[in-house]
Amino acid sequence: MMNRFLVMILALIGHAMAAATTVSVMDSKGAKGEMVKVPINIAGALNLGAMGIVLSYDPAVIKGTGVERGTLAPNVIVESNEISPGNMRISIADSRGVSGDGTIVEVNFEVKGDAGSSSQIDIKTTGYDSNLLDVQMTTKAGRFTVEEAGLPIIQITVVAIVVLLIVISAYKKISKKEQ
């Protein structure tokens, strides 16, 4: 009887001393009008069966539009909704449990802010292992920064081709007149 009690106590201590799973929002950038993906990474996951995430951000800078599975857990079930402007709830489930380090989901945002503006993306999480036991989690917020829009490569290429065709056509006309 004493041995059984001792084993149970040691198991509980081992579970309590297990390292926390860390959930981080990665710092990201994008230009106004773009759709961008912001990774949410986990480190130290061990048999993670379900996770709830609430993100908070400045809705004048970015607008959450959805979530996609990450590379760490390509078979998880993922649901999301914007519960109010600047607040998104994400639910993740996998009956087999997720273990390891990597991107658990990518959050899709539409960039609304002007260049130079930024928003912290705060994160709150809850987690359960595949046996529905609480998983201790720590979090790390990220920052989204709006940058200047890059040069529109396709438009510049099209204009360059048109200008080149005009120059070639003009050169041919001039060459024919000189003959």
- With cut-offs at 50, 70 and 90, classify the pLDDT of residue 152: low
Do residues 106 and 36 touch, judged by C-beta distance below 8 A? Answer: no
pLDDT tens figures, 91-124:
999 999 999 999 999 999 999 999 999 999 999 9
Q: What is the pTM for the complete model shown?
A: 0.74
The answer to whether residue 157 scores a pLDDT higher than 50 is: yes
d(CA 89, CA 77): 14
pLDDT at 163: 79
Beta bridge partners of 102: 42
The answer to whether residue 128 scores a pLDDT higher than 90 is: yes
pLDDT tens figures, 48-85:
999 999 999 999 999 999 999 999 999 999 999 999 99
Task: Count other Cβ atoms within 10 Å, centred on residue 41.
Answer: 19
Q: Which class for 170: exposed (0-12), middle (13-18), buried (19 or more C-beta within 10 A)?
A: exposed
Arch. (CATH architecture) of 20-172: Sandwich (2.60)
Question: What is the average per-residue pLDDT within 7-36?
Answer: 75
d(CA 2, CA 133): 25
